[in-house]
Amino acid sequence: MDFQSFNFHPHIAAGVEAAGYVTPTPIQAQAIPPVMEGRDVMGLAQTGTGKTAAFVLPILQRLMHGGRGHVRALIVAPTRELAEQIHEAIGSLGKQARIRSVTVYGGVNVNPQVQKLKGGVEVVVACPGRLLDHIGQGTIDLAKLEVLVLDEADQMFDMGFLPDIKRILKHLPQKRQTLLFSATMPDDIKRLAHDILRDPVTVQVGSVAPPVTVTHAIYPVEQHLKTGLLLELLRHTDTESVLVFTRTKHRAKRLGEQLEKAGYKAASLQGNLSQNRRQAALDGFRDGTFQILVATDIAARGIDVSQVSHVINYDIPDTAEAYIHRIGRTGRAARSGDAFTMVTGEDALMVRTIERTLKAPLERRTVEGFDYSVPAPKKDTEFARPPMPPRRPAGEKKGGAQQKQATKPGAAKSKSSERQHQKDGLTAHTTGSPKQRGNHARRTS
């Protein structure tokens, strides 16, 4: 199958060609035809499968016919990064088609959004909260909406956006096409799909299968040796661009600082920085200014870094789904990638869960020359013990809110910790200025 078989308008076909897409990915092959027929679609696919183009291309095709200058398609996404990525995809795939889209999310000045909406756009890519503000202020007109997309619906649910989604739905025309994409299908999403989709076509790709080009390995190590082992791993591995995951934003920040101190061009994505600094970290990672980005699951959500060569789990994730999601960022489209996970004795159960999901054992590796025998410091220095699940202060609701970090060592993981982490900071902190050092800079301290 190739893209010609969809019979896209020449302007859309030009966008596909300019993007360098030759063969549709499985989700595209399955979803594009029913979406072009105007059917409602439930798409089970995670980031990295090409799901964005699976809904963007048929929407662009629809917009080639009919009026311009009013909102005809609304795409709702959980994070600003994802919203920006979708907006960028529309911008590049719809360049010749001259389709105009705008992003609408909080944490930035509302006025430029109002101006763009006034100026006339066909597509709005929005996060729920700010979209509701615009609806409330009357600065967006959705009366002529034709297509609604809810992207990463499970994530929006996890972040507490479901009531907002329901409120948004009340302001949309009943007669519309609705597409719902989700990596997983928990009961709440099933209910939502049942309520809002009419006679939907369900398409599913590898919801629990990782990209085939990824090599997985685990590195058993004691908690207090993780940072040393990470530095050793980086020294011995030919890495282009590395995404490191930690369990808490505090650990992300500290580890980012330690990597920087060791001479790496590293940044961390976590709470307490402005949207501008966060964007600078993301842009810097994308353009290679930063070789290493340290992030929590939620802070990294939506990052599209197609060039990520290595995902390193400094802390193992809480669920097999989170593992698949993390490593979905490496080994994209025909590229190969490596996924390394540091595991301590207490991660044994999660390792088995991941192996069951992957239906394959994870290769155990040790780093030659690394001194695994260094004893744990007597005093509880940072990271000598496993991280404690972050605590949510009373009254906090959605992701992005400031959150106090519980940093006391010694506490065991709890089941609720993943949800808490997903509420972990949505803003960035770059650790110091980028240093102009090479890939294999040696430790300096």
Query: Is the distance from CB of 342 to CB of 271 less than 8 angstroms?
Result: no
Q: Tell me how crowded residue 313 is: count the other CB atoms within 10 A of its CB.
A: 24
The distance of closest approach from Cβ of residue 51 to ligand AMP in the complex, given in angstroms and rounded to an integer, is 5
> How many whole angstroms separate alpha carbon 422 and alpha carbon 417?
9
CA angle (19 as vertex; 16, 24 as ends), nearest 5 = 55
Convert 233-265 to b/e letters by CB count within 10 Å (16 or more is b): bbbebebebbbbbbbbbbbbbbbbbbbbebbbb
Q: How far apart are CA 383 and CA 227, in angstroms?
A: 9
Q: How far is CA 325 from the centre of its chain?
A: 8
Q: How far is the CB of 335 from ligand AMP (least distance, A)?
A: 10
Nearer to ligand AMP, 155 or 248 (CB): 155
Shortest Cβ 305–ligand AMP spacing (Å): 9
Closer residue to ligand AMP in complex, CB, 333/401? 333
Rounded CA-CA distance 167/179 in Å is 17
* 325-364 binders of ligand AMP (CB under 6 A): 332-333
Q: Least distance from C-beta 24 to ligand AMP, angstroms? A: 5
Nearer to ligand AMP, 93 or 193 (CB): 93
What is the nearest approach in angstroms of ligand AMP to the Cβ of residue 334?
8
- For residue 343, list its beta bridge partners: 220
| The pair of three-digit structure tokens given for residue 92, joined into one six-digit string | 């590049």
- 21 near ligand AMP, rule: CB under 6 A: yes
Cβ 47 to ligand AMP shortest distance, Å = 5
* Segment interacting with ligand AMP, rule: CB under 6 A, options 17-25, 63-71, 199-207, 367-375: 17-25
Q: Which is nearer to ligand AMP, 18 or 217 (CB)?
A: 18
Half-sphere exposure in the Cβ direction for 44 (13 Å, CA): 16
Closest separation in Å from C-beta 85 to ligand AMP = 7
Count CA atoms closer than 13 A to 179's CA, side-chain side: 33
Q: Closer to ligand AMP by CB, 149 or 221: give it.
A: 149
Residue with tokens 């240093």: 435
Q: Which of 29, 43, 47, 245 binds ligand AMP (CB under 6 A)?
A: 47
C-beta of 165: minimal distance to ligand AMP in Å?
A: 21
**C-alpha angle 215/422/160, rounded to 5°?**
135
Query: Applying CB under 6 A, which of residues 41, 53, 59, 74 lies at the interface with ligand AMP?
Result: 53
Task: Answer whether 342's CB lies under 8 Å from 229's CB.
Answer: yes
DSSP string for 337-357: EEEEEEE-GGGHHHHHHHHHH
User: Which one of 52, 182, 296, 341 is in contact with ligand AMP (CB under 6 A)?
Assistant: 52
Q: Distance between CA 411 and CA 414 in Å, rounded?
A: 9
- Cα–Cα dist 428/269, whole Å: 4
How many chain residues touch ligand AMP (CB under 6 A)?
A: 16
- Under the criterion CB under 6 A, does residue 366 sit at the interface with ligand AMP? no
Q: 162-170 vs 187-196: helix axis angle to the nearest 10?
A: 0
Q: Which of 30, 49, 177, 427 binds ligand AMP (CB under 6 A)?
A: 49
Compute the least distance from the CB of residue 432 to ligand AMP, in Å. Answer: 29
Q: Does 55 bind ligand AMP (CB under 6 A)?
A: no
* The one among 15, 34, 43, 48 contacting ligand AMP by CB under 6 A: 48
What's the min distance (Å) between Cβ of 54 and ligand AMP?
Answer: 7
Interface pattern 283-312 for ligand AMP (x via CB under 6 A): ---------------------x-x------
For ligand AMP, which is the closer residue by CB, 24 or 337?
A: 24
C-alpha 155/C-alpha 252 separation (Å) is 21
Nearer to ligand AMP, 19 or 114 (CB): 19
Whichever of 86 and 343 has its CB closer to ligand AMP, that residue is 86
Query: Which of 8, 12, 15, 25 is the binder for ligand AMP (CB under 6 A)?
Result: 25
Q: Which residues bind ligand AMP (CB under 6 A)?
A: 21, 23-25, 28, 47-53, 304, 306, 332-333
